Every structure is written in C-alpha cells, then in structure tokens.
Chain A
Amino acid sequence: MDDQTVRTICYLSRLRLDDEKSKKILSDLDTIIGMIDSLSATNTENISPLYNPLEETARKFNDKIKSDNNKELFLENAPESDENFFLVPKVVD
C-alpha cells in the first residue's frame, strides 16, 4: 500500500493514524493484504458471488406509519443535543 492509497483509505474511513502507531498499522495492513492476495490463486470463473450464506433475500415490509415517537429516548444518548435536535459544530459560516 503506497502513501497515497493509505491517505485515501484513511480519509474514506474517517480515521487518522497517530504518527507513533501508523508505521506498525501500515505494516500490519501490508501483511494482511499479502494474506488475502492468495485468493487470486483460486479459479472462480463462472462462479456467482455468495453474499448471504442462505441466499435468503431481505424480506420486504408494508410501508405502514407507526405512531411511536421516541425522540426524547434517542436524544438521551446523543453527546450534544437541544430539545429537538442532534447538535454538531457549525457547518456553514
């Protein structure tokens, strides 16, 4: 994994690696990628991917309106909120 790829992956993951740990984590990532590269040796021509072990597709539900309003309950776990909203730092100046 080159530096540019690492920067892109970190950004997509919204993660930052500390300087002291980044060398170790990057070397670990290279080791893991080395291991998963062995998959290329298996012939998978004409084999369809298996995304769910039982191949059951997700069931659909009727789009019914429920009267549950748990706003207060959910806001209790929010790190910052006012009485109606999750609060985040200012987005637009």
Chain B
Amino acid sequence: MQFQTIKEINDGLVSKKFSVEELIKDTFALINENKVLNCFISLNEENALARAKKIKVSKDSHLLSGVPIAQKDLFCTKGIKTTCGSKMLENFYPPYSSKVEEALDAAGSICIGKTNMDEFAMGSSNETSFFGNVHNPWKKGFVPGGSSGGAACSVAAGLVPAATGTDTGGSIRQPAALCGLTGIKPTYGRISRWGMIAFASSLDQAGPICRTAEDCSILLDAMTGYDSRDTTSLNLDPTNTYTDLKKPYENLRIGIVNEFNVDALSKESQTLFNESLKVFESLGASIHKISLPNINQSVPTYYVIAPAECSSNLSRYDGVKFGHRSLEAEDLESLYINSRSEGFGDEVKRRILIGTYVLSAGYYDAYYKKAQQVRRLIKNDFEEAFKEVDLIVSPTSPSEAFEFGTKGTQDPTELYLEDLFTISSNLAGLPALSMPHGFVNGLPVGIQLIGNYLEESMILNFANRFQQRTDFHNAKPTFEGF
C-alpha cells in the first residue's frame, strides 16, 4: 500500500479492499524496511494497532478515518515521547496533547509516530537534529530539507500518505519542494499553536505535507479552527478547502515578483518556472509583474525576529521542571548553565545568542525594533500587491536538494538563504503553498503560491487544477544509492 494518497486509502477502506488493521500493519512493515531513511524519532506502534482494531470505516466516515498520519516531533502527544529533535527533550513525555493531535484524533486518523526534524525547528536541511540526518528518498546522502525533513521524507518515501509539519520560515514548503511533495502553511492563526513546542511565536504555524493539493485540503480542514487556548487563534470556523476545490476560481491574476530575481537561478530552474507559468496561463490565469520593494530585507528581518523570540521561548529549559538536567551542577547557577549548554546543539545556541544580543540594552532599537518596522513595510508591500493580483508565484527554494554537509558549514547565512523565497509570508502571516513542478539534476523542485489572508481555498483550488494538468506530483522517488 506504499505511495497511496489519503483519497486512495479512503476508497480502499470504504470499499473494504483492505481493513484499517491491515493498513496499519503494512505501514509499520514499510517503515521498518526503510529505517535507513531515519525519518522517525519514535513510533507509536502498539497504540496505533490497538486503535486500528476499533475503527470501522464507512462512506459516512471522515475522509481521515483510519488513515495513518506521521506527526512532526514538535507536536505534544500525550504519553508519546516528544523530543523536538533535541537532546534537551530526549526523554520528554508530554502530559497533554496539542490541539492538532486532538483534532486529527477526533477525525479518526491514526498517529503512526513522530518524525525527525531540525532541533527546535531551527534549520533548513534536517542536519541539526540530535537524532541524526534524514536522507532524501530521491538520493541517499542528500538532505530532505527542513525543518520538517522527517515529515517530508516519510511521505515522499510512500510510508504514510500525509504528515503534519510546522513552518516558521519555510519549514513545510522547502522540504515539500525538495522531496517532490505538496505542503501548505495557512494564514497565521488558522491552526492553534496549543501544544506546539514554541520556536518563534509570531511566525510559527502548522500545516500539512501530502502528495497532492487535494490531500492537503483534507488534512488542512481537519487541523484548522478556533481554539481559546491559543490567544492568537483566529476566531473563525475551520477551513472548507476540500469542498472549495470544486469552486470556479476564474481568470486569476498571478504576480511574479521583480525583486525575487529568478534570472539568478540555474537555467534549468528558470526554464521550469517559465513552463509552469505557461500552464498557469492555460488554466485561464494572467501573469503580471509586481514589485515588493522591501522583500529583499526579509532574510535579515527574519534573522532578528526569529532568534529574539527563540531566545525568549527557550529560556524555559532550565533543567528543573522538565528536560535535560546536567549531572555536573554544583549550585543553581551552574545547573542552569550546564543543563542548557549540554542540552542544546550548536545552531540552537547560535540563535539564542543572537536573539539575546538583539534584545539586549543598547541594541534593542537598532535591531529588534528596526526589524519589526521593516516587517511592517514588507506586510504593506504585500497588501499593495494583492490589490493588483490574486496570487503571487515564485520558486520555493533557490536550488534542489544538496548533499549532507555542503551548505552552511563555513558560513551559516549560506543555509539561511535557502529560505529566501519562503520567509516573507511568515513575516506577513500570509498563506503559502509549495507544489512540485519539475526536476533539476534528477531531483524534484517546487513552485510557491502565496495568497492573500484567509485565501487557502483559492491557493489549493489553483494547485489542484495545476495537478490535474501536470504529472509531477505522481512521480515516485528513485531511492538512488539506497
């Protein structure tokens, strides 16, 4: 049952081609055969099999009923180890579940396990995980992207039809692109952050990673909705994107951003981008050049705001209430310092230090306040642009998947530029999707659609129509080198 979509699994369960129990047993067999990928940190086999025995699926059941889902190891899952990819939480068993886990559980899906990720979601290649690198199923020794690298890998390898991810600067869209998948980060506030381990609270947003836009719409609708426990949760009903796939969104105006400088990408990437624009036109869309004058300040703006929020959020890890505790402590001060120094990896330390620096007396105005002012300019630019166009399109990442250890080792900002195209929608809180649109050097690459606030239906509708016209989302990885 490898490589099935949510829709195909639902059809199989409703028509009784296979039972939920057979499906879940088969899923764990596939996962065990593909351990080399290292995409899971922990499995939930016993609970999943027990739950599978109880679920009966009929045509009236939720489309997710009985469907195996991989949860990013950043969502708290009651009684299931939740590490956030860090030694700091190596043995953390949350006393409660995240809203996302509650919602997917209520829809009848089955949590298969927790996926590998960059430590505390800080990374673009899944190389900062305490639990080791994750391989891209398209080529051994190549990154799956990050931070939701394990999530993307598990879906791309066909082990599960869908996975949850989180996106602070591109962590759903970039791994989806590098693994040949579809992933969407909705509008900030659409999905409750209750029980999501915080990295940068004004940027973090959860979302689905699947093979198709249709599957993403099914999962997104189940994940969204108001939750009073998250004070930034939007007081809106869950999205209705799956039903809206049938809506006629005619004559969409699509903007390409002058400042994104697509001409600087490789020839192959440029060709793919231009070919996709032709498909968009064949779907009735018109292409318009637009300007986002401050967009090139997105990366420096992000690398002030995200570390600042991270330094504050991660101050809770002190070795006292939960998480790693140093055995070397002599007094309370050394307990804090030793526990944190032993528990966090280098990238997390770098970001805490930068965050502390930009928030410290004497630097706050020059960096933190300044970045939040530039953030408003970036948001204003988008608001102006969406007066002229309905969607904005760009490549998802500057390049295809790369080999372990080849980016960011000498200069960390080299890896930060992986998120060049994705970061701005987090700063502005806009919904954005990545979908596969071709191959460069035999590896998949993605194209990004950014929509106006709350326009998830329009984005998924257009992506679904693109996938009805193209075949990139059906490509299966070649498992080169495995």
- Complex partner residue of A35 from B303, B336, B453, CB under 8 angstroms: B303
The reply to whether B95 and A73 contact each other, CB–CB distance below 8 Å, is yes
- The CA-CA distance from A38 to B366 in the complex, in Å, is 11
| B428 cross-chain contacts in A, Cβ below 8 A | 53
| B426 cross-chain contacts in A, Cβ below 8 A | 53
Grouping DSSP codes into helix (H, G, I), strand (E, B) and loop, the A interface class, with mixed when no group exceeds half, is loop
| B294 cross-chain contacts in A, Cβ below 8 A | 42
Contacts known (A39-B304, A89-B335); A31 close to B411, Cβ less than 8 A: yes
The reply to whether B373 and A53 contact each other, CB–CB distance below 8 Å, is no
The reply to whether B304 and A36 contact each other, CB–CB distance below 8 Å, is yes
The reply to whether B336 and A14 contact each other, CB–CB distance below 8 Å, is yes
| B332 cross-chain contacts in A, Cβ below 8 A | 88-89, 91
The reply to whether A15 and B340 contact each other, CB–CB distance below 8 Å, is yes
| B349 cross-chain contacts in A, Cβ below 8 A | 13, 15, 17, 25
| B98 cross-chain contacts in A, Cβ below 8 A | none
- The CA-CA distance from A61 to B230 in the complex, in Å, is 11
| B369 cross-chain contacts in A, Cβ below 8 A | 49
- Complex partner residue of A47 from B330, B350, B377, CB under 8 angstroms: B377
| B360 cross-chain contacts in A, Cβ below 8 A | 8-9, 12
The reply to whether A16 and B325 contact each other, CB–CB distance below 8 Å, is no
A-B contact count, CB below 8 Å?
171
| A54 cross-chain contacts in B, Cβ below 8 A | 187-189, 232, 234, 429, 453
| B367 cross-chain contacts in A, Cβ below 8 A | 36, 39
* Interface 1/0 per residue, B348-389 and A, CB below 8 Å: 011011101110100000110111111111010000000000
Q: How large is the interface on B (under 10, 10 to 19, 20 to 34, 35 or more residues)?
A: 35 or more
- The CA-CA distance from A77 to B453 in the complex, in Å, is 39
- The CA-CA distance from A35 to B412 in the complex, in Å, is 11
Interface check A50, CB cutoff 8 A: yes
Interface check A1, CB cutoff 8 A: yes
The reply to whether A16 and B338 contact each other, CB–CB distance below 8 Å, is yes
- The CA-CA distance from A89 to B376 in the complex, in Å, is 46
| A8 cross-chain contacts in B, Cβ below 8 A | 360
The reply to whether B234 and A31 contact each other, CB–CB distance below 8 Å, is no
CB distance from A19 to the nearest CB of B (A): 12
- The CA-CA distance from A50 to B19 in the complex, in Å, is 51
The reply to whether A42 and B319 contact each other, CB–CB distance below 8 Å, is no
Interface check A21, CB cutoff 8 A: yes
Contacts known (A42-B294, A91-B332); A86 close to B350, Cβ less than 8 A: no
Interface check B202, CB cutoff 8 A: yes
The reply to whether B370 and A44 contact each other, CB–CB distance below 8 Å, is yes
Contacts known (A53-B428, A54-B188); A91 close to B325, Cβ less than 8 A: no
Give A91's nearest chain B residue, CB to CB.
B332
- Complex partner residue of B377 from A13, A44, A61, A76, CB under 8 angstroms: A44
The reply to whether A78 and B322 contact each other, CB–CB distance below 8 Å, is yes
* Interface 1/0 per residue, A61-88 and B, CB below 8 Å: 1000000001001101111100000101
| A17 cross-chain contacts in B, Cβ below 8 A | 341, 349
Interface check B344, CB cutoff 8 A: yes
The reply to whether A77 and B322 contact each other, CB–CB distance below 8 Å, is yes
Interface check B116, CB cutoff 8 A: no
CB distance from A33 to the nearest CB of B (A): 7
- The CA-CA distance from A10 to B332 in the complex, in Å, is 16
- The CA-CA distance from A36 to B308 in the complex, in Å, is 13
Greatest chain B CB density within 10 A among A13, A44, A48, A86 is at A13
The reply to whether A53 and B370 contact each other, CB–CB distance below 8 Å, is no
The reply to whether B92 and A77 contact each other, CB–CB distance below 8 Å, is yes
Interface check B136, CB cutoff 8 A: no
| B352 cross-chain contacts in A, Cβ below 8 A | 13, 15
The reply to whether B374 and A39 contact each other, CB–CB distance below 8 Å, is yes
Interface check B266, CB cutoff 8 A: no
- The CA-CA distance from A48 to B380 in the complex, in Å, is 12
What would 7 more interface pairs be, CB under 8 Å, given A12-B360, A50-B372?
Answer: A14-B337, A21-B346, A25-B353, A31-B413, A33-B354, A44-B377, A74-B321
CB-CB nearest 8 A-B residue pairs = A53-B429, A49-B372, A79-B325, A44-B373, A50-B376, A77-B322, A58-B231, A73-B95
Residues of B within 8 A of A (CB): 92-93, 95, 187-189, 202-203, 228, 231-232, 234, 294, 297, 299-301, 303-304, 311, 315, 318-325, 329-332, 334-338, 340-341, 344, 346, 349-350, 352-354, 356-358, 360, 366-367, 369-377, 379, 411-413, 416, 426-430, 453
Residues of A within 8 A of B (CB): 1, 5, 8-10, 12-18, 21, 25, 28-29, 31-33, 35-40, 42, 44, 47-54, 56, 58-59, 61, 70, 73-74, 76-80, 86, 88-91
| Contacts A/B (CB < 8 Å), 27 sampled | A9-B353, A15-B344, A15-B352, A16-B341, A25-B350, A29-B354, A29-B357, A32-B412, A38-B300, A39-B367, A39-B371, A47-B376, A49-B373, A49-B375, A50-B372, A52-B202, A70-B95, A74-B321, A76-B93, A77-B92, A77-B93, A77-B323, A78-B322, A79-B324, A88-B332, A88-B335, A91-B331
